């Protein structure tokens, strides 16, 4: 029988590209390569009979060009509090295994990877406030990152019934993930887009 799993919780995802994610519209990444940080807190979850409630997870993702062109590198980080059975369950989920092809973002991202590193197990300090659209994540030696919603300005154009929405990015300092993904090592200030959401994922 195929594995059955469900995750319900909150997620924090960030990348340095401009709003709209150029890769999803056939454009080049804003800075030539794509990098992303994902992290989540499982409020309720299970993998078959294994309970995953209360655990945190993170992924560091990097591609040399647009995501659809592949050749990416993936590093999963699993809450060190997870026992061996929970660790294996989360590894399978984060690596897109035990999933109907194309059914989850984990499968889609994994399908673009040429290098999938062995999971790391570490304390994950994660704070996500969906209502305020703020989040922060710290994994010692790997990640120290925070995001907040960008101001949204509404402007009207002169045509009846028409309006437009302008989003303005917020400059943040995003450390490079030197010990997790190759070809890192310097700190840079980038315009970041932040997504925080309450979500349910399952097979």
4-47 pLDDT, tens digit each: 999 999 998 888 888 778 877 888 888 888 898 999 999 999 99
Reply yes or no on whether the pLDDT at 179 is more than 50: no
pLDDT above 90: percentage of residues in the chain: 48
- pLDDT at residue 108, rounded to an integer: 93
Spatial separation of the C-alpha atoms in residues 187 and 145, rounded to whole Å? 12
Spatial separation of the C-alpha atoms in residues 81 and 90, rounded to whole Å? 12
Please tell me which residue, 135 or 152, carries the higher pLDDT value.
135
pLDDT tens track for 152-166: 444 333 334 332 222
SS (H, E, C) 93-141: HHCCCCCCCCCCHHHHHHCCEEEECCCEEECCEEEEECCCCEEEEEECC
Q: What is the mean pLDDT of the chain?
A: 77
Q: How confident is the model at residue 151 (pLDDT cuts 50, 70, 90)?
A: low
- pLDDT at residue 150, rounded to an integer: 62
| Nearest alpha-carbon partner for 13 in 145, 107, 181 | 145
Residue 49: φ, ψ to 5°: -95, 5
Please tell me which residue, 161 or 67, carries the higher pLDDT value.
67
Q: Residue 116 in contact with residue 106, Cβ under 8 Å? A: no
As a dihedral over the C-alpha atoms of residue 113, residue 144, residue 129, residue 199, rounded to 10 degrees, the angle is: 10
Nearest 5°: the CA angle 80, 81, 83 is: 100
Pairing verdict, β 34-47 and 5-15? antiparallel
- pLDDT at residue 165, rounded to an integer: 28
The region of weakest confidence among 9-23, 64-78, 122-136, 142-156 is 142-156
């Amino acid at each position: 029988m195929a594995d059955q799993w469900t995750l319900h919780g909150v997620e924090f995802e960030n990348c340095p590209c401009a709003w709209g994610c150029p890769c999803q519209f056939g454009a080049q990444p804003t800075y030539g390569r794509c990098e992303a940080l994902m992290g989540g807190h499982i409020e309720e979850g299970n993998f078959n009979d294994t309970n995953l409630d209360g655990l945190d997870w993170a992924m560091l993702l990097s591609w040399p060009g647009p995501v659809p062109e592949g050749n990416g590198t993936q590093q999963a980080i699993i809450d060190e509090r997870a026992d061996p059975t929970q660790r294996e369950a989360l590894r399978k989920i984060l690596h897109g295994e035990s999933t109907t092809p194309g059914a989850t973002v984990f499968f889609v991202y994994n399908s673009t990877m040429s290098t999938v590193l062995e999971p790391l197990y570490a304390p994950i300090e994660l704070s996500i406030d969906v209502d305020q659209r703020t989040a922060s994540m710290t994994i010692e030696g790997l990640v120290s990152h925070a995001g907040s919603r960008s101001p949204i300005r509404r402007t009207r154009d002169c045509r009846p019934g028409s309006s437009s929405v302008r989003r303005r990015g917020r400059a943040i300092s995003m450390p490079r993930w030197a010990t997790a993904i190759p070809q890192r090592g310097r700190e840079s200030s980038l315009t970041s887009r932040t997504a925080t959401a309450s979500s349910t994922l399952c097979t």
